[in-house]
Amino acid sequence: MINTFSRFALPITWDYIEGVPISDSSGGYIHSLEWIAKVLEHLERSIPRQGPACVLRGSATLSVAGEGYDLILTDPPYYEAISYADLSDFFYVWQRRLHDDLTEFEKELTDKDGEAVQHVRSDKRRSEEKKKYEDRMAEAFAAAHASLKASGRFCVVFAHKQPDAWETLVAAMIRAGFVVVSSWPIQTEMGNRGRAISSAALASSVWLVCRKRAANARPGWDNRVLEEMRQNIAIQLREFWDAGIKGPDLIWSAIGPALEAYSKHPVVRKANEPHATMSVGEFLTRVRRMVVDYVVGQVLTGEKGSDLAAADRLDEVTAYYLLHRRYFGLEDAPVGACILYATACGLSDTDLERTWTSSPAERHKPRTKTRLG
């Protein structure tokens, strides 16, 4: 009728569910069976018969011994989004009862020390948690690097609205020795899921495809890297735009095509500042601004071409205003999309709400919609 975790929590529900056996609507007995049957039929047709798969249980920070792999694909923990270990205890305690003879279930609860997430709690320091997450991700990516063939590919699925999350993920990938060679946004998220209601959630997941960076790769210079980045994403942005990828998803999807110019170097130095380096955060800020300028250029020219020169002269608030008016007019707009646009323009959504909403009364409304004045 419905999965236990309709969102990433297990709240107390003061009621019980009773399905209607004769109903063919959502949640009915027949409807639920039909979905299961559809999945089984699809798997039967799509999966080639190549024998059983081999499933290994172990830490992602340890490389797998034996022959190298052609492909490693991972959907890693999303920064500070979910405390997976806490939620997994819900299932673990029942698995432990079923398999009490297996050594994998010797502990009463799941291991919390090895969890690769950034906890945001009063008993945790944010800076320490961010570093811990980046270190754990770098260890896991390094293990994947060691387990991969020289010609193999490493694919990472990621969907997060926060620049800090992307910065941390990309930094870990570069530390592990990977170069991003391609990417594509795939619309994987349902608009009616609990996570997307009245929040800033992307509709697409960005799939980053990486290969091993050459062992003799040399440091890069920021001016050359930025110019190469511009050339790389100019064509890709048009392709994404023509494919119908618009709004915040376009802005975040462009991160992948831009990263090759940066990640091909173990470090990027600043040409005009001796001994200074361009951080991942600085680079991604430049990328987001370029994409915003591209979208604003489309708005200014009626989508006939991109006047990047004109768009590049706009300040952050003006760029946001044009995006907001283009997609929402003067009507109420979903706060999630507003937050994503504001972040891409280098603005704080809190400042945007307090400073640029139409009236003092608007500033105290519940944050489900935002009106720009």
Q: What is the pLDDT of residue 152?
A: 92
**Higher pLDDT among residues 147 and 232, named by residue:** 147
Structure tokens at 69: 């792999």
- CA 183, CA 156: separation in Å to the nearest integer? 9
Q: For 181-214, how does the pLDDT look when each residue is reduced to its tens digit (9 = 90+)? A: 887 777 666 554 444 444 445 556 778 899 999 8
SS3 296: helix
The residue among 182, 191, 299 whose CA lies nearest residue 239 is 182
- CA 151, CA 211: separation in Å to the nearest integer? 7
Quick check: 365 pLDDT over 70? no
- CA 233, CA 319: separation in Å to the nearest integer? 20
Domain residue spans of the chain: 1-53, 68-83+119-314, 324-373
* Contacts with 345 (C-beta within 8 Å, 6 or more apart), sequence order: 288, 289, 292, 316, 317, 319, 320, 323
* Contacts with 86 (C-beta within 8 Å, 6 or more apart), sequence order: 112
**Higher pLDDT among residues 52 and 323, named by residue:** 323
- Give me the mean pLDDT over the 39-63 stretch: 79
pLDDT-derived band of residue 368, with 50, 70 and 90 as boundaries? very low
Cα 319 to Cα 67, 339, 372: the distances in Å are: 51, 14, 13
Which stretches of the chain are assigned E, i.e. beta strand?
Answer: 69-74, 148-158, 178-186, 205-212, 220-221, 268-269, 333-334, 369-370
Which of 32-36, 164-168, 201-205 is predicted with the least confidence, judged by mean pLDDT? 201-205
- CA 212, CA 66: separation in Å to the nearest integer? 18
**What is the value of pTM for the model shown?**
0.71
Residue 105 class from Cβ within 10 Å (0-12 exposed, 13-18 middle, 19+ buried)?
A: middle
- Tell me, rounded to whole angstroms, the distance of Cα 257 from its chain centroid: 15
pLDDT-derived band of residue 371, with 50, 70 and 90 as boundaries? low
Q: For 240-287, how does the pLDDT look when each residue is reduced to its tens digit (9 = 90+)? A: 778 777 766 677 677 777 888 888 899 999 988 888 999 888 888 888
- CA 322, CA 305: separation in Å to the nearest integer? 16
- Give me the mean pLDDT over the 57-74 stretch: 80
Q: What is the pLDDT of residue 38?
A: 93
CB 372 within 8 A of CB 325: yes
CB 81 within 8 A of CB 116: no
b/e code 262-283 from CB counts within 10 Å (16+ = b): bbbbeebbeeeeeeeebebeeb
SS3 70: strand
Q: For 267-279, how does the pLDDT look when each residue is reduced to its tens digit (9 = 90+)? A: 999 988 888 999 8
Among residues of the chain, what percentage have pLDDT more than 70?
74
Highest mean pLDDT among 62-76, 86-100, 192-206: 86-100
- Give me the mean pLDDT over the 39-44 stretch: 89
CB 255 within 8 A of CB 206: yes
- Give me the mean pLDDT over the 123-141 stretch: 80
Q: For 331-340, how does the pLDDT look when each residue is reduced to its tens digit (9 = 90+)? A: 877 776 777 7
